[in-house]
């Protein structure tokens, strides 16, 4: 019994000690770490060096003025002889003259320019457009793309009664024309020019300009002509292909020899009517 009491006492003491130890526990002091302070990294500001661009200097562009091509200088107008023959190969008309057309035309810049169409040495008689009638005869002359027709009428005298001209506004003679390539046809068929008696030739060395309308003029220079040769008995001494007696030099005449024309040309023109004066054989 004594030992039992001792054991109980020991057990009680042990239990008491264990309880105290459990309530007290193990205390850990927390470890405090000092905060790490990082000194800020200071970057010196980078100032970029300014980029200097040398200015680009452009040489000034000088525009050359636009020049409109001037019509070419026409060649000297040659004096040619043209002979028209009928179906029987008989001469019905002869013309010796220097002929040229003067034309004022409108260019692309809306300005008027002047051109000259010379009937040069390549000019030939165009039989298809010519005729050898009894009271009316027509001599048609072809030069390149140009056609000139001269019509003569016979009544008391022989005279030039009509002129018709056709030409193309080509680049050679009409540079910068507004209507490039256009075919132009002008004429005056109410004329009474170069009149001469039957059996005579008309002769004049002066310039005889004939307005045709459409800003076109025919210049007739150094002319000698004779129509109706095949219907007139030639005076003795004059054979086929030769001009009959002509009277040279030109005298002024105030007859109104240009009639009709376009409305713009409604006024009657007083012109130079050239008649043969001196009995001289040609």
| Domains of the chain, each with CATH number or no CATH | 80-280 (2.40.160.110)
Rounded-to-integer distance, Cα 149 and Cα 192, Å? 15
pLDDT in tens, the chain (282 residues): 565 666 666 666 666 665 555 444 444 555 555 555 555 555 555 555 555 555 565 555 555 555 555 556 666 889 999 999 999 999 999 999 999 999 999 999 999 999 999 999 999 999 999 999 999 999 999 999 999 999 999 998 999 999 999 999 999 999 999 999 999 999 999 999 999 888 888 999 888 899 999 999 999 999 999 999 877 665 544 445 566 655 554 543 323 334 344 433 433 333 333 333 333 333
Which residues, at least 6 apart from 223, have a Cβ–Cβ distance to it below 8 Å? 95, 96, 97, 98, 194, 202, 203, 204, 208
CA dihedral 221, 222, 228, 229 (to 10 degrees): -160
Q: How many CA atoms lie within 13 A of 279 on its CB side?
A: 0
Residue 210 corresponds to which tokens in the numbers above?
Answer: 């004939």
pTM: 0.63
């Amino acid at each position: 019994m004594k030992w039992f009491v001792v054991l109980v006492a020991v057990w009680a003491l042990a239990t008491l000690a264990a309880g105290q130890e459990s309530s007290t526990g193990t205390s850990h002091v927390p470890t405090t770490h000092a905060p790490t302070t990082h000194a800020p990294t200071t970057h010196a500001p980078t100032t970029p060096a300014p980029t200097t661009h040398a200015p680009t200097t452009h040489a000034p562009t000088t525009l050359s003025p636009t020049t409109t091509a001037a019509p070419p200088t026409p060649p000297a107008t040659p004096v040619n002889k043209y002979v028209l023959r009928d179906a029987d190969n008989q001469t019905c008309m002869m013309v010796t003259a220097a002929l040229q057309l003067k034309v004022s035309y409108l260019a692309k810049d809306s300005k008027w320019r002047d051109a000259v169409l010379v009937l040069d040495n390549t000019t030939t008689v165009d039989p298809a457009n010519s005729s050898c009638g009894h009271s009316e005869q027509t001599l048609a002359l072809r030069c390149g793309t140009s056609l000139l027709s001269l019509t003569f009428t016979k009544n008391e005298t022989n005279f030039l009664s009509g002129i018709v001209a056709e030409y193309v506004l080509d680049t050679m003679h009409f540079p910068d024309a507004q209507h490039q390539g256009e075919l132009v046809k002008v004429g005056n068929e109410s004329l009474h020019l170069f009149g001469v008696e039957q059996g005579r030739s008309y002769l004049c060395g002066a310039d005889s300009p004939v307005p045709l309308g459409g800003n076109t003029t025919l210049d007739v220079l150094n002319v000698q002509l004779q129509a109706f040769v095949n219907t007139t008995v030639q005076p003795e001494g004059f054979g086929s292909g030769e001009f009959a007696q002509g009277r040279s030099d030109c005298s002024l005449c105030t007859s109104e020899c240009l009639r009709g024309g376009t409305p713009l040309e409604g006024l009657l023109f007083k012109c130079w009517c050239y008649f043969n004066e001196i009995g001289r054989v040609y």
